[in-house]
Copies of this chain bind each other. A is one copy, B any other.
Amino acid sequence: MARRIELDGRQRIGAMSTASGTRTFAASDPATGEALEPRFHEATAKEVGQAVDLAAQAFDAYRRTSPERIAAFLEAIAEGILELGDQLLERAAAETGLPQARLSAERTRTASQARLFAALAREGSWIDARIDRAQPARQPSPRPDIRRMLIPIGPVAVFGASNFPLAISVAGTDTVSALTAGSPVVAKAHPAHPGTCELLAGAILGAAARTGLPDGVFSLVQGAGHDVGLALAKHPRTRAVAFTGSLQGGRGLFAAAAARPDPIPVYAEMGSVNPVFLLPGALEERGERIAEGFVGSLTLGVGQFCTNPGMVVGPSGAALERFVAAAGQRVSACPPGTMLHAGIRAAYEAGVERTARSSGVRVAARSAAGPDPKKTQAACVLFATDAAALLADPDLAQENFGPSSIVVRCASGEEMERVAESLDGHLTATIHGTPEDLARHRRLVEVLERKAGRLIFNGFPTGVEVCHAMHHGGPYPATTHSGFTSIGTAAVYRFVRPVCYQDFPQDALPEALRDGNPRKIWRLVEGQLTRD
């Protein structure tokens, strides 16, 4: 039986807890509207500074920590999260309105992704060691000995997402990938689930203490508004920002970081519309089955996924109408659900209204039962329009976070391509087709490769696998840098930079770059990958 933890609403500046500020705020249960105990102290600018300074002080010691100990730290984080037991699930459910079963699955993912990064750290080849040996006899001038590897960049500010209070929050993918890299983390608690964040911070700090890591390798600051986050992003010793959330929030941090005397990278994942393309063969063959899967994906978690399918593009005709009818039936039957918080619900409702007012758009279906605003509920809505109307009103192609989607009828395959070409960047794009469809629409795939980070065939975009090959990113506005992923082991590359050692003596080189390859990692030696 897990020990019950008394939440105190204070900052965690490494091992120290502080509450210097006078501004406080409370979380509330979106399902009831009730405020939840305790009140949380918003961090002062001074507390933010202390957290980043402590992270910077811990940095040199932390980056010298052996991969084995970093792996042990990550595994201890996984254990610590599980040890929080039901209290974590209960608090997260109260703060987010998400069902405990979903949160329990998310907890499993959170622990296993920490363990996956532990395995990455232990194996060690991710640091991309490269060795080009000296050629003293080379003409016209000798070649020096050049050895390169990735090293951590320093303190990282992490801003978690409201919709994944465990897997993409304080102890989520950003934190564990930064810690794997050897970069200390200062996490900004999400103001909608501050108690969950405090619990998770306790698990990380406990793991750091048990593993004997330097104080400051992790800190947590609380804040309800933008001040704390901006102070974090602007602090001279912050070296990068990882963010998952709204376009507005991500772009704000990006602009602040770009305007610094020394700009720092902001890796913001800001969601997307995740268009789904229905090709004629598949639509004819199994349109109704696709409709079933589509509405399941659309309504999962009350539509609150970055990968929620917000647009369906298909060839107009009887098969597409059957798809709309089948999807519409399921949408009507879908009960309204409690959203994460009142702000998200209000934005969703406004988005639905805006879309409904656009000329050439009709509501194809809506949850039959009315949503209860006191329970922060939202209805599922399916819109229908045609390509001309979509191309005439770019707002229709913008994300509306929640369970709404728009079906776009196209007169031809070329028009489907034109719609694809008109899209901004997205995290995902999905194609339903037969093998023949795919062969006939190669050009559409080519366009979508330019538009999205992940292309899905005959599936649905929700459900992001945490693995080596995952790419959870995409061209702007899906993210602020299309070269990086926030999920999967490649997420570690956001928090490192190469450093090169020229003519260093063996014993002054990092172990990973020494002759004899003591860490037995894969290295690029004279351009050849080898473990020797």
> Chain A: residues with CB nearer than 8 A to chain B?
59-60, 64, 105, 119, 123, 125, 130-132, 140-141, 143-144, 146-148, 151, 153-154, 254-255, 258, 262-265, 424-425, 435, 438-439, 442, 445-446, 449-450, 452-459, 463, 465, 467-471, 473, 475-477, 480-483, 485, 489-490, 493, 496-505, 507-508, 522, 524, 526-527, 529
Contact = CB atoms under 8 A, between A and B. Distances in A.
A469 B130 contact: yes
A144 B459 contact: yes
Contacts of A425: 262
7 closest residue pairs by CB, A with B: A471-B500, A130-B469, A258-B258, A454-B500, A482-B497, A471-B498, A148-B469
A125 B469 contact: no
* Copies of the polypeptide in the assembly: 2
A132 B125 CA distance: 17
A522 B523 CA distance: 12
A500 B469 contact: yes
Contacts of A154: 450
A424 B261 CA distance: 11
A503 B490 CA distance: 20
A193 B469 CA distance: 45
A59 B147 CA distance: 34
A191 to B, nearest CB: 26
Contact of A522 (B469, B505, B526, B529): B529
B449 A499 contact: yes
Given A465-B132, A469-B524, A455 B262 contact: no
Contacts of A507: 435, 439
B265 A254 contact: no
Nearest to A150: B483
A180 to B, nearest CB: 14
Contact of A455 (B141, B453, B483, B502): B502
Contacts of A64: 446
A494 to B, nearest CB: 8
A439 to B, nearest CB: 8
A292 to B, nearest CB: 16
A480 B445 CA distance: 33
9 contacts: A255-B258, A263-B480, A435-B505, A439-B507, A453-B500, A455-B504, A457-B503, A458-B503, A475-B497
